């Protein structure tokens, strides 16, 4: 049995899940929704200090000159953001 910890707005919720015979671990639906995880999304997995950590993989970017500045441009195409995602993100960061 693997115990997953979800951090949602500075509150830690412990959730339990199991590993199947093939070694797959299913993140509970509430956790996937809280973190905005999508099927096929790249994740980084590491172990240390008796813990299994799963983190959303960072998007690789390259720097490109735009006008008078430099911006980060994703190396692979990203899905467009929905209006709801933008609103929710703005609401979270403005707290």
Per-residue model confidence as pLDDT tens digits over 36-70: 888 988 999 999 899 888 899 988 999 999 999 99
Asked whether residue 44 falls in the same domain as residue 82, the answer is no
**CATH code at position 46:** 2.10.260
Mean pLDDT of the chain: 85
Question: In the numeric block, which tokens belong to residue 28?
Answer: 């509970």
CA–CA gap between residue 42 and residue 26 (Å, rounded): 15
Q: Compute how many other C-beta atoms are within 10 angstroms of the C-beta atom of residue 61.
A: 12
| 52 and 74 part of one domain | no
pTM comes to 0.57
CB 75 within 8 A of CB 60: yes
Residues 44 and 68 in one domain: no
Q: How confident is the model at residue 3 (pLDDT cuts 50, 70, 90)?
A: low
Token pair 């997953």 in the structure block, residue: 4
- 24 with 70, same domain? no
Closest CA to 60 of 47, 40, 78: 78
Residue 22 pLDDT grade (very low, low, confident, very high; cuts 50, 70, 90):
very high
Indicate whether 51 and 74 sit together in one domain.
Answer: no
Over 50: is that where the pLDDT of 10 sits? no
Phi and psi based region of residue 39 (left: phi greater than 0; alpha: psi -120 to 50; beta: remaining): beta
Residue 78's domain spans which residues? 61-93
Q: Are residues 78 and 49 in the same domain?
A: no
Higher-pLDDT residue of 25 and 11 is: 25
The strand pairing partners of 57, in sequence order, are none
Residue 4 has pLDDT above 80, yes or no: no
Same domain for 9 and 51:
yes
Same domain, 65 and 23: no
Number of domains in the chain: 2
């Amino acid at each position: 049995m693997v115990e997953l910890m979800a951090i949602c707005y500075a509150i830690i919720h412990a959730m339990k899940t199991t590993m199947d015979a093939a070694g797959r671990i299913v993140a509970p639906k509430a956790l996937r929704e809280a973190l905005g995880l999508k099927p096929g999304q790249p994740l980084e997995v590491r172990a240390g200090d008796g813990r299994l950590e799963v983190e959303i993989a960072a998007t690789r970017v390259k720097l490109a000159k735009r006008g008078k500045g430099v911006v980060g441009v994703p190396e692979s195409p990203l899905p467009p953001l929905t209006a709801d995602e933008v609103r929710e993100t703005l609401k979270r960061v403005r707290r």
